[in-house]
Structure 1
């Protein structure tokens, strides 16, 4: 699918992987809706790209429905949805103070997994009403999983479960939406230099980078965005989760 002239909705687009994805898609000629909870950063990215900022809590049905409606009013049906909104947390199932609070587990699942499905269902419906291109394609949906879906570490039960759900969602969603000409994919990033990791001391960053076989460094958000672009442009890529991790395989701790 050609990107130029298309509309792309990017969640979590105010920073990190989402912001770089929004930038690269805009540079490729897309009209970009910047969806995020952070109004200050989101509006700044939208202004930079000549796009439109839309406030959204992806885990909330009413908020997501309103956000998609606003983005549709501004740009029309999307040809691309990139789900980058998510949260990370750490906590042992049984810690020093007892069992993990159920609400902590539920929050991560609601934002990362339910939020991904929430935007997928709404944008897939909007895509299904658009005219297909010359190849019978109407849209591409790309979600953000994690290598933690495969090698979740101690303390990552909630995060790994949420990202594992995204992995499991990808193929059945691709099969179901095939009749509309909508492809569904996911990326499972390894250790990337997001704003959260950038705040860590240099020696900690170096320690994390040393665990990555090749190249022995943290991933750059633009590398995530480049894979998004390639996935959009390759019509035969569908129902797949691609690891982007420098051959990293995380240990238990």
Structure 2
């Protein structure tokens, strides 16, 4: 039996299988006829990053796994936790691991290095910020309210990427050994400032939606006012002060390398998402 046949005939575990990328990966695998197990706290076999006693049952019989750490691989303690998962997965017989990583995050790169140092077959997806942050979380409520205020310079551009592209690459990596030991740096086809991205959404909706850069202190105060947990506040501020400081503006060729096509376009995403009415406003 070939390596690919082993992966395809065994159980594929999707850790973070209810999240933005994970649920899309799981849907694609199911449609392809793969036996899929969802790794989440609410699954039939619960998986909890903070409870290692839940891991072994979930890993039983698994040959390949997609790993998306929640809430972000940059949080304190994440590196030690994902390293422990890699070890436990390999010991249980997992032969392929696909890791979702993040551009510009030192902690994410340390997790990548930990995976690369193992004996397992691996593929790493080092991704930019998602298109879907504007429609499925983070920025949706401010867009609905008509103003997006963030602690980021107006001049800083980010090559946002469609999670559909990430899911396509993940599924390809879980099916074909041509992606073995490949690190794909994944961006969209163009870099946009937040002001430009918000303006494009506003035009598509025919609404007045503004972007306003604010200080980190003001943003922190607003998050606290909204009741956001302190750990989440610190994570968000850390990401804005590091990942969104301009270091990730350059485009990368991960989608082209992995799939042989260009990344999906932000304008297409905006047009398709606007048609659903999700940005209609309050």
> Could you tell me the TM-score, scaled by structure 2's length?
0.36
> Could you tell me the TM-score, scaled by structure 1's length?
0.39
Q: Report the structure number with the largest CA radius of gyration.
A: 2
